[in-house]
Structure 1
Amino acid sequence: MSKAIHPTDVRFIKLGRRGTWEQSSIEHDQVIRLGYTSPLHDESLAGNWKAVTKHWLAKRKGNKSTTTSDVRQIRDFYEEPETTLWFTFYARQLWWCFAKKQVRLLDDGSRVRAVKGQWQSTDIAGGALNIETLDDRLAKVGMYRGTICAVQPQVAEYLVRRINCEQSPDVQKAVDTMAQLRDAVEVLIRGMHWKDFELLTDLMFSRAGFQRLDVLGKTTKAIDLDLVAPVTRRRAFVQVKSNGTVASLTKSIEQFNDMPQYDDFFFICHTGKDVAHYKAEEDNIHVLAGPQLAELVIRAGLVEWLISKRS
């Protein structure tokens, strides 16, 4: 895990019109890059913003509002300190960095600041910062039509927390509540009658999109389900055990390996600590017990059904 970041400010930057400089800046050059081509690089370095404003006011044909926005963005690029967090969006991921103070003029008139280290697309624990996992208020910043902008304080705070893998108090409370629910669901599952447990398993797979082809066998301790995933057409053999042991699991895996018509094997049990910690080497063998099983029951929306059965 990398060290937590503590920026003094946060800025969004668009790397070129329609993302022209995204790939080169992020994957190769390791820079933040600004357009706004003008002959006033030296004036910008010297902080002569009156001269810069005069130039852009003429270029914008006297439009003061647009000029003010232009100069603000240029000034941010030149003056934001090395402690400012810069971020952008590229390839449906959020990328962030800190930039060195020196501003360098390129031959095409654009300006660059070298990144300290390199652009990052993960949090400090290595988790990907994919757009679909981000707060929509942050993702929408990517729709900004200009080049550089500040973000609302609560959005900036969220971004820093997200990078630092820190939960807001509200989110942490929800996470803790979900953990308590999972523990409670696990206890309810362990106390189920074998017949109800078989039905729960059937409902869980049904809500996950599986279609049942047949019930192969039924006793007081086990039921074997023949299922198919409609989209992939992968066929699954499911064995349900009220009380599972590593010995019974091993035997079931041997039976599965003798049936080439099946692509996946699921071993479901509500009691058996050793089974809950079993790790299969094969990707198509799935052991669901304990917390993992409780999690799936919650995801399938079967908590109320479970409570009703145990009431």
Structure 2
Amino acid sequence: MQDQLNPPDVRYVKLGSGGKHVDYALENAVIPVDFDLADHALCLAGDWDMLLTTMTQAGRGIQAAKEDIRELKDFYDLPEGSLWITMAHGHLWWALVGDKIELSKITSSGPVRWRTTQSGWSKMSLAGTPLQLNTLSSALTKTASYRRTICRVEAQDYLLRSIRIERHPLQHSANALTAEMYSLTEQMIGNLHWAEFETLIDLIFLRNGWRRTSLLGGNMPDVDLVLEQPLTGETAWVQVKSQAGQAELDSYIDRFLADGSCNRFIFACANPRGALALPRQSELNLNIWTGKELASQTVESGLFKWLSERIV
């Protein structure tokens, strides 16, 4: 299929007013449209001048009829293998058009005419990932606001890359820079003074909407931070260590479980002594922040610049 996805042309199609033909199209693997006043035989013959005459004689305005014919030319003339897309049920759907064009033989509530597709409609990329509208650029999804039936796709290159799962050259550069930023962040965290590390963890939670209900690094023997998430009511114990090993982690988990006052436990350690592991009980909401996880939390919270200014 990937070898075949080099279509000679690309079009967007609205599957009926208000999407009324969507389910019919998906179930029957066809591209349905209406254009009630357009004579099928004239369209097949490509006699567009005569079609314009018959449509205007039937009461269609001249400009509207010309727009209809522009779209009908695409529907009838675009070659087999052209890529057609639509947007429905929260996904982008795509199909390669076949060579068969027919009038519909179903009830009057259905589409007037349809073209076959080669393999039906798909809402998946060639790699098998869903093409969800909320993950796609508005440069593409805005096409769904087209008021008529058939139009060109302005973001055609982006569309094809999305289906093929290909990256824009700039994305490769961005990914490389992001990976370097995360690596630098991890190294900088490892070189922080312990007091700055405590402040970093406190800022991460504050930036993400948590509210501290204890003093940072206070006199509590078992925990450095007690936090509350106002929106959800969730509470968290947070233990912050510049250096720690497995024995210290196990000890703090035991204290957290014995206390029982919070929903979540987070152990943040800048320089762990060896690999740290959690107990096997899957029902426990226990978390370890070291290395890459710390770097991710820092960058995603917008604290890279803050961190870089505190390296000594």
TM bin, normalised by shorter chain, reads: 0.7 to 0.9
| Alpha carbons of structure 1 residues 190 and 13: separation in structure 2 relative to 1, 3 Å | same
- Pairwise CA distance, 1:236: 1.4
Q: Tell me if the contact between 2:37 and 2:58 (Cα under 8 Å) persists in the aligned partners.
A: no
Deviations 1:144-194 (A, max 9, x none): 111000123xx1001111222222122221221111111111110011111
Q: Secondary structure at the match of 1:101?
A: strand
Equivalent residues in 2 for 1:234-249, closer than 5 Å: 234-249=234-249
Deviations 1:75-102 (A, max 9, x none): 2122222321111121333222223221
Q: Secondary structure at the match of 1:100?
A: strand
Query: What is the RMSD computed on CA atoms of the aligned residues?
Result: 2.9
Relative to the length of structure 2, the TM-score reads: 0.86
Equivalent residues in 2 for 1:88-127, closer than 5 Å: 88-106=86-104, 107=106, 108=108, 110-127=112-129
Of the structure 1 ranges 159-168 and 251-260, higher mean CA displacement relative to structure 2 is found in 251-260
Relative to the length of structure 1, the TM-score reads: 0.86
- Pairwise CA distance, 1:210: 0.4
Q: 2:57 matched to which residue of 1?
A: 58
The amino acid across from 2:85 in the alignment is F
The amino acid across from 2:118 in the alignment is K
- % of aligned pairs identical? 32
Q: 1:18 matched to which residue of 2?
A: 18
- Pairwise CA distance, 1:50: 3.5
| Alpha carbons of structure 1 residues 60 and 146: separation in structure 2 relative to 1, 3 Å | farther
Unaligned runs of 5+ in 2: none
| Alpha carbons of structure 1 residues 308 and 233: separation in structure 2 relative to 1, 3 Å | same
| Alpha carbons of structure 1 residues 287 and 45: separation in structure 2 relative to 1, 3 Å | farther
CA distance in 1, matches of 2:292, 2:141: 33
The amino acid across from 2:79 in the alignment is P
Q: 1:72 aligns with which of 70, 73, 78?
A: 70
CA distance in 1, matches of 2:115, 2:65: 23
Q: 2:176 matched to which residue of 1?
A: 176
| Alpha carbons of structure 1 residues 157 and 241: separation in structure 2 relative to 1, 3 Å | same
CA distance in 1, matches of 2:68, 2:268: 62
Q: 1:148 matched to which residue of 2?
A: 150
Deviations 1:28-84 (A, max 9, x none): 333221111246223323433343333223345451x33222112112122222321
CA distance in 2, matches of 1:8, 1:279: 55
Q: 2:291 matched to which residue of 1?
A: 290
CA distance in 2, matches of 1:250, 1:165: 43
| Alpha carbons of structure 1 residues 255 and 123: separation in structure 2 relative to 1, 3 Å | farther
